[in-house]
Each structure stands twice: as C-alpha cells, then as structure tokens.
Chain A
C-alpha cells in the first residue's frame, strides 16, 4: 500500500521535473529541476531493493555530474543577458514522434510476456555487488577504470587554453 503511494508520488515528481528540464527557458532552472529528478530516481531505486545504486546515484549524478553541469552553465551562459530562443524548429514533429515512440514502446511492452521470478531480493546488496565486481565482472570493471582515465585526460586536453 505504502509502496504504491510512494511509487506514484516519486513517478509524478520525476515526470514533471523531466518535462521542466526539457521545456524551461532559463537553463539554470533546468539544471535545478534535473537535480530534483535525479534525487527522486534514487528514491525509486530504494523501492527496488537497490540500496547501493541509490547511494551511488546521489553521489555521482547529483553530487558530481549536476555540479559539473552547473559549472558549465556558469562558464558559458549569460544569466541576466538576453534570452535566446530555447527550442529549435523541430518542436512539433519532435513532440509528435516522441509521443509515438512512447506509445510504441508501451504497446510492445503490453504485448510482451515476461516471466517474473517469485524470489525475494536480499535486503543488503553491497557485499554481493562488491564481490561480484571483483570476481565475475572484473574485466568490465577494469575497462571502465581505463575509460575514466581516458575521459579525464581527454577533458583536460580539450579544454586547455593555448600556451598553458
């Protein structure tokens, strides 16, 4: 019962803030609504017995990526200056197609039978995840670390000023 209410509440907030992210004129407001959205997604994760993921979501997305976005906004936008038109000319067709996409995915979902398991998920997931990362999925783990290194170096190289 509670689960249902919480789910619908979080879903509502997610959808509304998502809509706000894609429509608002002020880019800073968009960033703030994005943060709100991400928070609620973390709450959803908790509902799904994925506690570790919820925490990681908050840490990385809200704590790092969003801050990064706000930094970028700061560095590039003129907040108090003239407001540029935020949407391009594809709004109608884009909305139309996005609706169709949504409809199509939903339709295919409702037509699909997915066998669900009746097992109960374990309450704590951290230890298991940690062990799995080090044993079964060590290769992707290592690769992702290399990827992060590359992204780091790449970002520095791209954004470097001349002569520095």
Chain B
C-alpha cells in the first residue's frame, strides 16, 4: 500500500467529478458519495499508518513513487508521492477531520439550496489537501497549495449573497496569494540554484552546501512566506477572522485542522533547509511568537464565538511555527495533530450552538449547558485540552512546545503568558456560553440539542482530544518522539521535564481560575476591568487596528490608483475616439468643398470654356466659299515659305534626319 498512496487523494476527486456532472440533482446521493469516498480514504490512511509503524524498527519508512516529467542534469521535475511518518500522520489527521466534518454537514447544511455544490466543494478541497500532503516535490506541493487556496475561496464565500461573505472569500484569496508570491520566488530560487524540486535531492544539496549563506536564508524566508500566508501568521493573518463568514463546518475543516496546517506542514517538511540557516530559523520563530501573543491578546475581548476560536487558531498556529523555528520538529508536528482534533471539535461545537440559538454573539447566550448537554460536555473537554490540562492531549503537546524554547528564556516566558491567556479566554467563552443566567430569554427558550448527525462527530472528536496525545507521553519508549527522532535524525530532549509540567499546569489553572472569578462567580467585574484598562481594551477589541492600517496604506491607494487609471484611460480613449470622429467629419467637409467647388468647378469650367470657345470659333464658319479659299491661300503660302526656307532643314537636323 505504501507506494500506492496516490489513490487516497484521487478518491475525493472522483466524488467531486461525479457530483458536478452526474449527481448534482440528487442531494442525498451527492452527500453520500462524498462521505463514502472520504470514509474509504480514512480507512486507507489507517492501513497506511499501520504499515508505517510496522516499518519502524529496522529503517524509517521512506517510500517514494514518481513519474519523471523533465530530467536533465540541471533540472529535475516529477510527479510523485512520498510516504514517511510525517505523511502518515497528516493523512490520518486530514481524513479524520474531513470525515467528521462531512458527517456533521449533513445536519448543519440541511435545507440549504446549494447542498450538492457544498459537498462537491468539500470533496475538491479534501482532494487538494491530500494531494498537498502526499506530494514528493516542492513544485507539486505548490500546485496543490494553490488548489487549496482556490477551494477555500469557494467554501468561505459559499453564502455569497451576503456581501460580507464574498468579501471575506476575496480577502482570504488575495492575502494568501501575497504569501504565495513569496513561495513562488523561493521555488524559482530553488529551481535556479538547485535544479530540482524533489525533497530528498533538495535537502541533500542544501546539506552539501550547493547553496549557502545569504542566498540560502533568502530562499528559506521566501518559502516561509507561503506558510505565513496560508497559516495566517503576522502580518498576513487578517483573512482568518473574516473567513468565519463561511459555514461553521467549513471553518472547522479549513481553519482548524487542514488548510492552515498546510503552512506548518510545509515548514516541517523543509526543516532541513531551515536548520541549515540559523537566521532563517530565528525569523520563523519570532514571527510565530509575535503571532501567538498578538492573537491571544485579541481573543481576550472578542464577543463573537467564532472570532474567539479564529484568534485561538492563530495563536496555536503561532505556537507551532515558533516551535519549528526553534528547532523542534517533534513539538510542532505533535501539536499540529492534537490541535486539529480539539480545534475542529471546538468549531463544530460552536456550530451546534449557533444552529440552536441563531446568533454568534456570546453576550446573548448563557446557561445553555442545561439545554445542550452533549455539545456543552464535548466543548468543555476540548477547552480543557487546549488549555493544557493533564492528562488530555493538549497538555502533552503544549508542554513539548514550551519545552522546545528551553534555550531561549524570553520565548519560554512569552509562551507561558500565552498559555495563561489561552486558558483564560477559552473558559471565558465556556462560562459565558454555557453557564450563568441566559441573557436572552427568547433565544434560550428556542434552543435545543442538535441532531445525531451533528453530535456523533462531536463525541468522536472529543475521544480523540483526550487520547490522541497519549502517543507522545515522554515516558513512552517507542512513542511519538522517538519515532520522529529516528525519522528526522535531529537531536531532541526525550527526557520528561517534571518542573515544566508543573509550571504549565499552574499557569493553566490560574487562567481558568481568573475566568471563573470574572465570569461565573462575578467577583471581579469584567466591565470594571474594561474601564480601568480602556485604551488597552480598545486596542485589543479593534484587533490592534491592523485591518484599518492595511486599508489606509495599501487598499485605498490601490483603489485610488485604479480610479486614476480608469479616468485617464476613459478620457484619453474617449478623447481619441471623439477626436477621430471630429477629424473625420471635418475631413469630409473639406472633401465636400473640394468636390463641390473645385471638381464641379473644373467640370463646369470645361463646359463653359468649350461653350465660349465654340461661340468664338464658329465665327470662322461663314459659309462663304471666298473666305474658305482665302484661308487655303494663306496655308498654301505658309507651306511654300517653309519649303523654301531653311526651317525644314533645321527641323530635320534637330530630329536627326540627314
């Protein structure tokens, strides 16, 4: 199976084609087909994982299958798949979350007029993401990268009748495209200096020093640009909160587990490049840190349930990127996996809540735990996991991340602060949504638990949120870490750090405690806190005004320039066309003049001249013989004179007759 993993992406592609051309009009059939393909892919991913693990022991699994497209000594382009532990993990993550989301969508999107189209988009997205994961060279991953961007545009702007939704889709596409430009430049550098895109060959050449120094740093940073765009790192993070306009299952799939993880996946894949350039790696780490801190701080004061989760995603992605930049392949990828499960659970749960009360605003909710038991329970489990509470999965992966900052105390401190904030805002969300008195009576009365198609995925993901982290427990001899070590060959502290575990637990609990005091017990009033720190509150509430800055500095000038170009173009073009028209009219007037006066004048003139001449010449026709004879005599005399003079001789000499 390991060399045939190209089948896995092709399954949802098949579903997409079938839905678009054949089963569009049968909603149930389309949905069923899509879910079936993803389910088969999920099963195949599990088979692949088992085979991969069975591999482990002698060598690390590394199976490549490729078709060469171009293979000159200086340039190598191919189409192929690579199977190694990272791929296996990603396959599981993507197919599991896709499967759950598609089942959930059956209930959530029920009654939507474009139900089949939704499932076709989901299938296409799944195909793109899986293709991205199994690709064996940077060129191929770029192709799927772009496809993922395209399908996410479709899905974010799914309810395109709402202007905010279509705008959000555009914003996502354009912002990630900016990152993709950087990625493309990096690819061009790779092609130009290394002559190949294949992972293995590239890493070998980098280690051999074919490209080094500033050039290598530049290439690494350019490739990272793609990750900055796709994983919504600062400064290209602005699209992720707006992307919440899409249906909630889409948010769960794309913005929790898969698409945004693509950036992290890319950096993880290219670890060899980043490790070879310390400057590039530190840039990556700094950007991750800044993103995680900034996003967490914004999440503290947001009132839209999905916005809070979106900023939480940004923050966690920042964690992963930071860990990778600091050199810990293990921490970054481990957290990627656990985050996928609990974040998608959180989003689906939020979707369930929204479905019940028909509002996103948490200030209008409250006390829903009594009405929606399953949703509330799974949501709280996911919140505990993300806050890093023992023994849930989040605890283990978050520890790995904080541990990776071991040599950088500043990073470690900031990471702990972010952990505190994460726990705080997550439980603020929980308390405001599920506990306390309902703030809107009408919405509360109408609320009800969601159908089975929505709650079953929630439960499944909750189980994974609890257990999935256990593969990374440090005491495990053949656990995650050692597998990664053997695979990546990079040194990693595999010993458990008890002190770190204690500190992080304390931090998490204090965060939960503060939220409890403020939002459940009410001993510290949130309003008072808001008043005390009003400037900071405004700054955070308005997302550091970054959107407004971008708008003023980039968007407005672009619009202004476009308007200028339009007016310039319209006036010049209009001017030319009108000028052409005017000139033509003027020319034709001139021609008319010429024709009427000059040409007609000549013609009439000829007539007049002939008339005048004839009225004079006819006087010679007297009709009298004597006159005629006189003239004959005259001619005769002239002839005689000519004949007798030398005129004729001269004429002949002139002409040449002798």
A interface residues with partner B (beta carbon < 8 Å): 88, 90, 93-94, 97-98, 100-101, 104-105, 107-108, 111
**Bound-complex Cα distance A164 to B515 (A):** 159
Residues in A with CB closer than 8 Å to B627 are: 90
Across the interface, name the chain B residue whose C-beta is closest to A111: B644
Q: Across the A-B interface, give the 7 residue pairs with the lowest CB-CB distance, nearest first.
A: A104-B640, A108-B644, A97-B633, A100-B637, A101-B637, A90-B630, A88-B626
How many of B's residues come within 8 Å of A, CB to CB?
12
A101 contacts B626, CB within 8 Å? no
A108 contacts B640, CB within 8 Å? yes
**Bound-complex Cα distance A88 to B630 (A):** 12
**Within the complex, what minimum Cβ distance (angstroms) separates B98 from chain A?**
127
**Bound-complex Cα distance A105 to B636 (A):** 10
B644 contacts A104, CB within 8 Å? yes
**Bound-complex Cα distance A104 to B630 (A):** 16
B626 contacts A104, CB within 8 Å? no
Complex A-B: 28 CB contacts under 8 Å: A88-B624, A88-B626, A90-B626, A90-B627, A90-B630, A93-B630, A94-B630, A94-B633, A97-B630, A97-B633, A97-B634, A97-B637, A98-B633, A100-B637, A101-B633, A101-B636, A101-B637, A101-B640, A104-B637, A104-B640, A104-B641, A104-B644, A105-B640, A107-B644, A108-B640, A108-B643, A108-B644, A111-B644
Residues in A with CB closer than 8 Å to B640 are: 101, 104-105, 108
**Bound-complex Cα distance A111 to B644 (A):** 8
Having A100-B637, A108-B643, A108-B644, one finds 16 other A-B pairs with CB under 8 Å, namely A88-B626, A90-B627, A90-B630, A94-B630, A94-B633, A97-B630, A97-B633, A97-B634, A97-B637, A98-B633, A101-B636, A101-B637, A104-B640, A104-B641, A107-B644, A111-B644
Dominant secondary structure at the A interface: helix
Residues in A with CB closer than 8 Å to B626 are: 88, 90
**Within the complex, what minimum Cβ distance (angstroms) separates B620 from chain A?**
14
**Within the complex, what minimum Cβ distance (angstroms) separates B335 from chain A?**
135
Q: Which of B625-658 contact A (CB under 8 A)?
A: 626-627, 630, 633-634, 636-637, 640-641, 643-644
Residues in A with CB closer than 8 Å to B634 are: 97
**Bound-complex Cα distance A93 to B630 (A):** 9
**Within the complex, what minimum Cβ distance (angstroms) separates A109 from chain B?**
10
Residues in A with CB closer than 8 Å to B644 are: 104, 107-108, 111
Residues in B with CB closer than 8 Å to A108 are: 640, 643-644
Across the interface, name the chain B residue whose C-beta is closest to A105: B640
**Within the complex, what minimum Cβ distance (angstroms) separates B619 from chain A?**
14
Residues in B with CB closer than 8 Å to A90 are: 626-627, 630
Across the interface, name the chain B residue whose C-beta is closest to A108: B644
Residues in A with CB closer than 8 Å to B633 are: 94, 97-98, 101
**Bound-complex Cα distance A52 to B627 (A):** 38
> Which of B626, B640, B643 has the most chain A CB atoms closer than 10 A to its own CB?
B640
**Within the complex, what minimum Cβ distance (angstroms) separates A46 from chain B?**
31
**Within the complex, what minimum Cβ distance (angstroms) separates A87 from chain B?**
10
Q: Which of B329-359 contact A (CB under 8 A)?
A: none
**Bound-complex Cα distance A107 to B624 (A):** 31
Across the interface, name the chain B residue whose C-beta is closest to A88: B626
**Within the complex, what minimum Cβ distance (angstroms) separates A56 from chain B?**
29
**Bound-complex Cα distance A112 to B624 (A):** 36
**Bound-complex Cα distance A104 to B640 (A):** 7
**Bound-complex Cα distance A66 to B179 (A):** 134
Mask, B397-415, CB within 8 Å of A = 1, is 0000000000000000000
Across the interface, name the chain B residue whose C-beta is closest to A104: B640
**Bound-complex Cα distance A94 to B624 (A):** 15
**Bound-complex Cα distance A94 to B636 (A):** 13
**Within the complex, what minimum Cβ distance (angstroms) separates B628 from chain A?**
11
> Which of A94, A101, A104, A108 has the most chain B CB atoms closer than 10 A to its own CB?
A104
**Bound-complex Cα distance A111 to B626 (A):** 31
**Within the complex, what minimum Cβ distance (angstroms) separates B631 from chain A?**
10
**Within the complex, what minimum Cβ distance (angstroms) separates B638 from chain A?**
9
**Bound-complex Cα distance A93 to B643 (A):** 23
**Bound-complex Cα distance A11 to B541 (A):** 150
Across the interface, name the chain B residue whose C-beta is closest to A107: B644
**Bound-complex Cα distance A90 to B627 (A):** 8
**Bound-complex Cα distance A101 to B644 (A):** 13
**Bound-complex Cα distance A88 to B637 (A):** 21
Across the interface, name the chain B residue whose C-beta is closest to A98: B633
**Bound-complex Cα distance A101 to B640 (A):** 8
**Within the complex, what minimum Cβ distance (angstroms) separates B363 from chain A?**
133
**Bound-complex Cα distance A69 to B38 (A):** 142
Residues in B with CB closer than 8 Å to A101 are: 633, 636-637, 640
Across the interface, name the chain B residue whose C-beta is closest to A102: B637
Across the interface, name the chain B residue whose C-beta is closest to A89: B626
Across the interface, name the chain B residue whose C-beta is closest to A100: B637
Mask, B590-626, CB within 8 Å of A = 1, is 0000000000000000000000000000000000101
Residues in A with CB closer than 8 Å to B641 are: 104
**Bound-complex Cα distance A137 to B634 (A):** 36
Across the interface, name the chain A residue whose C-beta is closest to B638: A104
Across the interface, name the chain B residue whose C-beta is closest to A93: B630
**Bound-complex Cα distance A108 to B643 (A):** 9
**Within the complex, what minimum Cβ distance (angstroms) separates A91 from chain B?**
11
**Within the complex, what minimum Cβ distance (angstroms) separates A106 from chain B?**
10
**Bound-complex Cα distance A112 to B405 (A):** 141
Across the interface, name the chain B residue whose C-beta is closest to A109: B644
**Bound-complex Cα distance A100 to B637 (A):** 7
**Within the complex, what minimum Cβ distance (angstroms) separates A86 from chain B?**
13
**Within the complex, what minimum Cβ distance (angstroms) separates B287 from chain A?**
123
Residues in B with CB closer than 8 Å to A104 are: 637, 640-641, 644
**Bound-complex Cα distance A107 to B641 (A):** 9
**Bound-complex Cα distance A105 to B634 (A):** 13
Across the interface, name the chain A residue whose C-beta is closest to B631: A97
**Within the complex, what minimum Cβ distance (angstroms) separates B188 from chain A?**
106
**Bound-complex Cα distance A93 to B626 (A):** 12
> Which of B624, B627, B636, B637 has the most chain A CB atoms closer than 10 A to its own CB?
B637
Across the interface, name the chain A residue whose C-beta is closest to B624: A88
Across the interface, name the chain B residue whose C-beta is closest to A97: B633
Residues in B with CB closer than 8 Å to A100 are: 637
Residues in B with CB closer than 8 Å to A93 are: 630
**Bound-complex Cα distance A20 to B450 (A):** 154
**Bound-complex Cα distance A88 to B640 (A):** 26
**Bound-complex Cα distance A48 to B644 (A):** 29
**Within the complex, what minimum Cβ distance (angstroms) separates B316 from chain A?**
131
**Bound-complex Cα distance A97 to B624 (A):** 18
Residues in A with CB closer than 8 Å to B624 are: 88
Across the interface, name the chain B residue whose C-beta is closest to A112: B644
**Bound-complex Cα distance A91 to B640 (A):** 22
**Bound-complex Cα distance A98 to B636 (A):** 11
**Bound-complex Cα distance A101 to B643 (A):** 13
**Within the complex, what minimum Cβ distance (angstroms) separates B649 from chain A?**
13
Residues in A with CB closer than 8 Å to B637 are: 97, 100-101, 104
**Within the complex, what minimum Cβ distance (angstroms) separates B641 from chain A?**
6
**Within the complex, what minimum Cβ distance (angstroms) separates B189 from chain A?**
110
Mask, B101-138, CB within 8 Å of A = 1, is 00000000000000000000000000000000000000
Residues in B with CB closer than 8 Å to A98 are: 633
Residues in A with CB closer than 8 Å to B643 are: 108
